[in-house]
Amino acid sequence: MIKKFIRKILGVKAPRNTDEPEVLGPEQHGIDPKMVSSNAVRVTSTLQEAGFEAFVVGGAVRDLLLGVKPKDFDIATNATPEQVKRLFRRAFIIGRRFQIVHVMFGQDLLEVTTFRGTTTDNAPKDEHGRVLRDNTFGSQAEDAERRDFTINAMYYNPATQQVLDYHGGMRDIRAKTLRIIGQPEARYREDPVRMLRVVRFAAKLKFDIEPTTAAPISVMAPLINNVPAARVFDEMLKLLMSGSALACLQQLRKAGLHHGLLPLLDVVLEQPLGFKFVTLALEATDKRIAAGKTVSPGFLFASLLWHQVLEKWNAYQAAGEFPIPALHLAADEVLESQTEKLALQRKIGSDMRDIWAMQPRFERRNGKNPYKLLEHLRFRAGFDFLLLRCASGEIDPELGNWWSAFYEADETVRAEMVSAVSGTGTGTGSKRKRPPRRGTRHGEEAEASTEQGDEGADYEGEEVHADAESSPAPRKRRRGPRRKRNGEGGAAAPADVPTVD
């Protein structure tokens, strides 16, 4: 009573009682029930009919309140994972850190989570305070307190069409504010990924980060380095595929979070050409997502890291390596350093390599070369990448224009185009003339070409150019570095270069 009186005099609002939710009816929240997926309703009603509580929760409620169609629906319940599993035909318990249930309807996957408890005091943590494992169930109020931001801690019951709001999420949605629940430093320490999440939501939703939520980020940013690489990768991918990748990256820079996430990304962004390239790539990605098209993670990461590859590619060539092996060495080096930090999946890594490896092949426009390249499984990705290189000013736009025309043209026009460039000598990717082949080639190279198809052919092509330049010196130059690399694990030896086609 006295407290209430003093607050009234001072004009201070009472802290919210976060044990009891504010209950909002349809006229207050304005959610359109038609936007709620029928499978989400199936899950909540099945659980409710079995006597449990069940709600749509988290990002889906946030998006529904913003009038955006949620891309997935998460369900929260007081049923245990075992109890959930028994109610659905295709349900799987997954997760070690915290068990959740995946309920499948055809291709649609819904995540059902049991309300989580708040007591992380006894949960195992790493030396920086990051919670490693915790499997305690709790009440709905506790579950709300465990969530990251106020706008992500609301529960929607499709049966009653009510929203339960424990932390003033509705107020923050209206004010376009991102506010962390609880004490910001403690929450970032428990899980540093929340710093990446706040940046993503701010950029994607065009919300402001409330000052006390934002304040610790620049100081606490290095804690991201202790997070397992696979989680950082998942979060980075979400960020890049959010439809606001460019805004996210700018926000990451502003928050000082880009250091250490993609090593050297800060350096890349500071080089005018690298910056332009990344900007164009992310703009194109955002446009594709807005148009409902798919985006390949391999293309995205290949773009983000291209200028690092380029720098190393140039350095290897300056040191006497031939262009194709130099490119593979550069790719190996960049991929190795990124794998450590980002846990790039094998498939993504091989897509990136393919896109990079295709680039010099675009310069070979003579003979069968352009036709072979067109048949490449990932030609489209490599071609889009080439166009980005042209648009960023890295290479002559003439090459991109030629390929665009070649791609569209019919067989007769294609043949004319090839003979035109072959005639001028611009189609070989080198100003040097290709010498006629004489006698049997070195056994080593012959082996390389049979093992690698087109890629081997590229490799040979370089060899021929080099011989033409000043025989026999280049051969000596080539043997040195190659033998050395084999000794170090053979990173770029022909047998280790992945087959492109």
Q: Which residues bind ligand ATP (CB under 6 A)?
A: 58-59, 74, 147-148, 152-153, 191, 193-194, 238
Is 243 one of the binding residues for Mg ion (CB under 5 A)?
Answer: no
Contact criterion met (CB below 8 Å) for 239 and 196: yes
Report the nearest approach of ligand ATP to the CB of residue 271 (Å).
31
Q: Provide the angle, in degrees to the nearest 10, between the axes of the packed helices 379-391 and 346-358.
A: 60
Residue nearest to Mg ion (CB): 59
CB 368 within 8 A of CB 415: no
How far CA 201 is from CA of 17, 246, 295, 358, in Å, comes to 26, 13, 20, 35
**Which does residue 189 touch among Mg ion, ligand ATP, none (CB within 5 to 8 A, set by kind)?**
none
Asked if residue 23 lies in contact with residue 94, where contact means CB atoms within 8 angstroms, the answer is: no
Which residue in 72, 134, 266, 501 is the catalytic one?
A: 72
- Tell me the residue nearest to ligand ATP as measured from the CB: 59
Tokens 């290095």 found at: 222
For 220-252, the DSSP string reads HGGGGGGS-HHHHHHHHHHHHTSS-HHHHHHHH
Closest CA to 77 of 99, 107, 104, 106: 99
Closest to ligand ATP by CB, 150 vs 369, is 150
Give the tokens for residue 325.
């092996």
Identity of the residue, 63 or 332, whose beta carbon is nearer to Mg ion in the bound complex: 63
Q: Give CA–CA dist 219/215, Å, rounded.
A: 8
* Closest to Mg ion by CB, 73 or 406: 73
CB of residue 142 vs ligand ATP: minimum separation in angstroms?
13
* Closest separation in Å from C-beta 180 to Mg ion: 17
**What minimum distance in Å lies between the beta carbon of 254 and ligand ATP?**
20
> For ligand ATP, which is the closer residue by CB, 87 or 153?
153
Using left for φ > 0, alpha for ψ between -120 and 50, and beta otherwise, residue 433 falls in beta
Q: Which is nearer to Mg ion, 59 or 490 (CB)?
A: 59
Residue 72 is among the residues annotated as catalytic for this protein: yes
Given 63, 143, 148, 454, the catalytic residue: 148
Backbone φ and ψ of 167, nearest 5°: -130, 25
Min CB(154)–ligand ATP separation in Å: 9
**Toward ligand ATP, which CB reaches closer, 137 or 275?**
137
Closest distance between ligand ATP and the C-beta of residue 84, in Å?
Answer: 17
The encoded tokens of residue 425 equal 């000598």
Return the residues of window 122-181 that contact Mg ion according to CB under 5 A.
Answer: none
Quick one: what does residue 191 bind among ligand ATP, Mg ion, none, with the CB cut-off 5 to 8 Å set by partner type? ligand ATP
172 is catalytic: no
What dihedral angle (degrees, nearest 10) is formed by the CA atoms of 298, 336, 362, 431?
A: 160
User: Under a CB-based contact definition with an 8 Å cutoff, are residues 39 and 111 in contact?
Assistant: no
Binding site partner of 445, from Mg ion, ligand ATP, none, Cβ cut-off 5-8 A by kind: none
The answer to whether the bond into 472 is cis (omega within 30° of 0) is yes
- List the one residue from 41, 42, 48, 59 that touches Mg ion (CB under 5 A): 59
Q: Which of the residues are catalytic?
A: 72, 74, 148
Q: Which residues bind Mg ion (CB under 5 A)?
A: 59
